[in-house]
Structure 1
Amino acid sequence: MHSRCPCNVFQKVAGIIIGKTDVKSFPDRKNIGMDRFTFGFTVKDSPDFFINVSAWGNDAYVNGLASSISIGDCVTIENPLVATKDLEKGDRFCPATPSHYRLLVTEAHSQVCLCADMDTIDRLLSLIHLPVKDSRDFYSLGDIVANGQKLDGSVINILAAVKSVGHFKQFTTSDGRRGQRLEVRLFDDSVSSFPLVCWDREAIQLMQPLIPRETVLFIADAKISFDSFRSGMVATVNSKSIITVNPDTREASLLFSYAKEVSESGALDQDDMPEDVPVESITDVYTVSQLIQKARENPEALFGITYSFISKLDLDSSVSKVIKTRCSKCKFLVTEDLNSCTNQLCPGKDQIVSATTGFDLLVDFTDHTGTLHACSLRSPVAEKALGCTVKEFISLTDGERTAMKWKFLLERCKIYVKIIPSPKMKSGIRGMILDCSLADAGEVNSLGLKHLQICTS
């Protein structure tokens, strides 16, 4: 593949697909009442050269071809037509390429098939990890946040790690069109969480299987805009964007090492507080097994109420295991002799550390359906639940602490809980207790009747 082509037909082109758009349809001006279908993909055959390909035709041909190839596939394109790019029309919505041309494939003239030559495939596969832009030409997430609305509407390159992959959502617009949406949370060494939104099905399919905290992305030509609902900046994947997963570059390697280090340190497990909701607004009641199943099905935060027994509450452990000190800014564990927080993502990492000391427990709660292990119970929720301040707890005898423990282990509690994904946990999820009190017997009885009605209906 070359940057200039003197002919209007290639006999054969082999390359790896590095980008692909959704199928779209348009009214056929030559055949009134009929639609023409199209989709595009971008193929690369060397480190420096890649070209856009457009497929046009009827519903069966275009959708059949689109479903047969994916990003990362090595393909052979036979007899494509060659056209000069028109940046004033459709080509301005396609990825920028070094070629002055684009390829067209139609059912009558061309054929696209998966490459069968192993030598060619071996040569092409490594190209999928080479960004289409200069590996040093990108904005950090901190740069985007710092520039704020100055970048509104800009198209830029981003290098960032994947923090979480959200829940795939489908919707129907007011005019009857179907759509889909996926939000991916990014992070780097300057920002702990930044939203990347995907609207196209092809981009969503690329993003869904990514492993959080173990994946780095180079996103060429992402659109940046100000989201008034969030009061912050958001990146969007569009038809011009090319996403390189785990780029083979020095910059990506450094970020991957940082992501691994900060993930293992536990810094990323500190929850994003904006997701929290008022306890009084939580009304959905679940058994423990329902909580676990629903949380695994939905990678976003789940809030609910469960009437369960606390089955592990180590109040009679050493005080240092019950009472801990955390950074006031990021909630990262710190020791009293440190002058600054060791969390590299802490907004106050260069300042004298401001710390708070409080209850910091991992508890299990259990009902007849199962147990949710290692849920966080921290101050001030713990102080309210236990009816005891940190200072008062420290002054208790061992016997008094044990008596406090058994007050909860022997009684059913009403527990408000928040559950989020946590790759570090064996279960894949982590619970946080937002409120806990001894359950009212009347509530428990009515809940039992309600469950009985559901089971027998």
Structure 2
Amino acid sequence: MAWAGNIGAGGDFGSQNTWPDGTTITNHGTGSSKRASNQGYNTSSSTGGDGGRVNLKDLTAQASNVVIIGIVIAKQKPRQVQSKSNPGTDRSVFGFTLRDSPVDFINASCWGSSEHVLALSNKFRIGEIVEIKNPQVQTKSHSEIEERCRPWTPSAFQLNVSERYSTLNLYDGWHAEPFGTLQHMPIRESSDYYTLGDVLANGRNLHGEHINLLTLVKKVGTPKDIVTKGGRETKRCEVSFFDETCSSFSMVIWDEEVIDLVQQWQAKETVIFAVDVVAKYDDFRNTMVASVDSKSIFIINPDTREAHSLYKFGQSSTADEESAEETKDSIDLQSIHDVYMVDELKAKMCDKQSVMMQSDYGIVYAFLSAYDLDGPTSAVLSMRCTSCHKRVDKETGTCLNSNCSAAITDQSQAILNYDLRVNLSDLSGTINGVYVGGYVAEQIIGKSAEEFSKCSEDELTGMKWQHLLERCKVYFKIQERPGIINGSSSFLKILQCGRAEPDEVLKNIKV
């Protein structure tokens, strides 16, 4: 990825000296000021070739005949509202957020007839650069609706783009390049976020709160058409995230503009700084999730130390991936007798000091409620270094583990390995994203990784349904995550998984 190498030896990252709320940045390197001056942002009132352009920082109340150029960092779909000037008639409107420097961004609204607003909305997407001519510059209202339904911005103003007096088009001038880097500059302090483990640990205490997350994309779900109880047609999409503290965390999206945006995200390749997403406790899943609303903004692959560190974590290893050399002889399974429910395991993983379990080993009788063998191959198989068993670069085939002796001597070799995640469920709850790899995955599936890669889609579907939604006897180990201080301190490692005998389940399960 182009951004992955942007942090130099001197510690440079980003280009802001202050954040949008005025807080001075304290954690960037000494070279940041020089780098900021080289970014190419023009702070004058106009730019050659862009006649009449005014930067957002130079806007004044009721300014007229101005030209605003910026990159769209948030956008909502059009909606209809009742006209105040013509009672009984409807007008259409949609909002978006425009940014033209590391510290300046503003909300805008486009008003007009349904046909005009829809056509205008279809002209651009989040991440594209637009040029607005002659918008109405208004002082921000600070009303309850403004605070509750629109992204926070540092500007004292807001823009109205009218059908009669204003124009909006994609920008095709000579000064587009500086705007592209704005997609990777955070709009909050780079350390102002919750880890996924922190969200799970806080639980219901965060329900309904707007929070920031720094996370890696694990899986982008397929958008689904939904008809609400009121007969309204809409779309729904779910994205799974992970980080050093949590192997799987869901975010639910109902806004079509954001659904379009996330289709560009790549599993284990895209780091997201999610600003003002809503934390919710999902009663059905019995766990915390996130949802997107009209205040949410997403910074893709942010150029910060924290984001680069998370990216490297996702590329080289994940804390709950077992070694490919794991064998059935690693532990005597006959010595494991203690049986637990899923809710007990989840509590244990959130609190390593819990005393509810007598040992780190146990048995759970659970259903495989997610077992996606016939999904994308990249979600089931991966290439691993034969020396350290960590991931290798997909393009170059070289090991990403800087401590691997084979990588240091440029002698690393790669093998195909299982890299599967499953959900375990019983009457007490569900554990999402449990890693299964190496010998254990081969044992469950009944084929080597090489044999699996050659199977047809029908064969994969058949293998999936041999275990999906079947009650299984799962031997596990609770293993501590190295280096994790806050949040989820441990994870579940499957030692063996096979179909459970009904009599054995009745004898051991807790009701």
* Band of TM-score, shorter chain: 0.5 to 0.7
Following the alignment from structure 2 to structure 1, what is the Cα–Cα distance between the partners of residues 309 and 65?
41
Following the alignment from structure 2 to structure 1, what is the Cα–Cα distance between the partners of residues 455 and 271?
40
Q: Which amino acid aligns with 1:107?
A: E
**Conserved in 2, the CA contact under 8 Å of 1:155 and 1:222?**
yes
CA gap of 1:175–1:357, structure 2 versus 1, over 3 A, is: closer
Q: Which amino acid aligns with 2:157?
A: Y
CA gap of 1:371–1:144, structure 2 versus 1, over 3 A, is: closer
**Conserved in 1, the CA contact under 8 Å of 2:62 and 2:137?**
yes
- Which residue number in structure 2 is paired with residue 240 of structure 1? 295
Task: Say whether residues 1:163 and 2:218 are aligned partners.
Answer: yes
**Secondary structure of residue in 2 paired with 1:193:** strand
2:163 maps to which of 107, 112, 121: 107
- Which residue number in structure 1 is paired with residue 124 of structure 2? 69
Task: Say whether residues 1:19 and 2:104 are aligned partners.
Answer: no
Following the alignment from structure 2 to structure 1, what is the Cα–Cα distance between the partners of residues 315 and 65?
45
Task: Say whether residues 1:249 and 2:304 are aligned partners.
Answer: yes
**1:145 offset after TM fit, Å?**
1.0
**1:213 offset after TM fit, Å?**
0.8
CA gap of 1:134–1:371, structure 2 versus 1, over 3 A, is: same
Q: Where does 1:96-175 land on structure 2 (aligned, <5 Å)?
A: 96-118=152-174, 120-175=175-230
- Which residue number in structure 2 is paired with residue 362 of structure 1? 447
Following the alignment from structure 2 to structure 1, what is the Cα–Cα distance between the partners of residues 211 and 309?
21
- Which residue number in structure 2 is paired with residue 94 of structure 1? 150
Following the alignment from structure 2 to structure 1, what is the Cα–Cα distance between the partners of residues 240 and 102?
29
CA gap of 1:156–1:10, structure 2 versus 1, over 3 A, is: farther
**1:132 offset after TM fit, Å?**
1.4
Q: Deviations over 1:306-343 (max 9, x none)?
A: xxxxxxxxxxxxxxxxxxxxxxxx99xxxxxxxxxxxx
Q: Where does 1:47-446 land on structure 2 (aligned, <5 Å)?
A: 47-92=102-147, 93-118=149-174, 120-262=175-317, 266=321, 278=367, 295=375, 359=443, 361-363=446-448, 364=451, 372=460
* Structure 1 portions without partners, runs of 5+: 283-290, 301-329, 332-344, 348-354, 385-431, 437-457
**Conserved in 2, the CA contact under 8 Å of 1:164 and 1:186?**
yes
**1:34 offset after TM fit, Å?**
2.7
Q: Which amino acid aligns with 2:165?
A: H
Larger-gyration structure (1/2): 1
**Secondary structure of residue in 2 paired with 1:17:** strand
Task: Please report the TM-score for the alignment, with normalisation by the length of structure 1.
Answer: 0.62
**1:117 offset after TM fit, Å?**
1.3
Q: Where does 1:27-46 land on structure 2 (aligned, <5 Å)?
A: 27-46=82-101
**Secondary structure of residue in 1 paired with 2:119:** helix
Which has the larger share of helix?
Answer: 1
**Secondary structure of residue in 2 paired with 1:192:** strand
**Secondary structure of residue in 1 paired with 2:266:** coil
Q: Which amino acid aligns with 2:250?
A: P
Following the alignment from structure 1 to structure 2, what is the Cα–Cα distance between the partners of residues 210 and 268?
28
**1:121 offset after TM fit, Å?**
0.3
Q: Once structures 1 and 2 are overlaid, which stretch shifts more, 166-175 or 156-165?
A: 166-175
Following the alignment from structure 1 to structure 2, what is the Cα–Cα distance between the partners of residues 41 and 373?
43
Identity level (%): 34
**1:86 offset after TM fit, Å?**
1.8
Following the alignment from structure 1 to structure 2, what is the Cα–Cα distance between the partners of residues 268 and 55?
54
CA gap of 1:172–1:124, structure 2 versus 1, over 3 A, is: same
Following the alignment from structure 1 to structure 2, what is the Cα–Cα distance between the partners of residues 157 and 216?
13
**Secondary structure of residue in 1 paired with 2:238:** strand
**Conserved in 1, the CA contact under 8 Å of 2:211 and 2:277?**
yes
Following the alignment from structure 1 to structure 2, what is the Cα–Cα distance between the partners of residues 43 and 254?
29
Following the alignment from structure 1 to structure 2, what is the Cα–Cα distance between the partners of residues 109 and 239?
26
Following the alignment from structure 1 to structure 2, what is the Cα–Cα distance between the partners of residues 209 and 268?
31
**Secondary structure of residue in 1 paired with 2:447:** strand
**1:264 offset after TM fit, Å?**
11
- Which residue number in structure 2 is paired with residue 405 of structure 1? none
Task: Please report the TM-score for the alignment, with normalisation by the length of structure 2.
Answer: 0.55
CA gap of 1:433–1:145, structure 2 versus 1, over 3 A, is: closer
Q: Deviations over 1:9-53 (max 9, x none)?
A: 351011111111111111224434432101111111111100011
**Conserved in 1, the CA contact under 8 Å of 2:61 and 2:137?**
no
**Conserved in 1, the CA contact under 8 Å of 2:61 and 2:138?**
no
Q: Deviations over 1:101-120 (max 9, x none)?
A: 100001111111111113x1
Following the alignment from structure 2 to structure 1, what is the Cα–Cα distance between the partners of residues 260 and 306?
25
Q: Which amino acid aligns with 1:227?
A: D
Q: Structure 1 stretches (4+) deviating beyond 6 angstroms?
A: 355-358, 365-370, 373-378, 432-436
**1:100 offset after TM fit, Å?**
1.1
Following the alignment from structure 2 to structure 1, what is the Cα–Cα distance between the partners of residues 209 and 274?
14
Count of aligned residue pairs for this structure pair? 323
Q: Deviations over 1:371-397 (max 9, x none)?
A: 55997999xx9x99xxxxxxxxxxxxx
**Secondary structure of residue in 2 paired with 1:256:** helix
Q: Root-mean-square deviation (CA), in Å? A: 4.3
**Conserved in 2, the CA contact under 8 Å of 1:165 and 1:183?**
yes
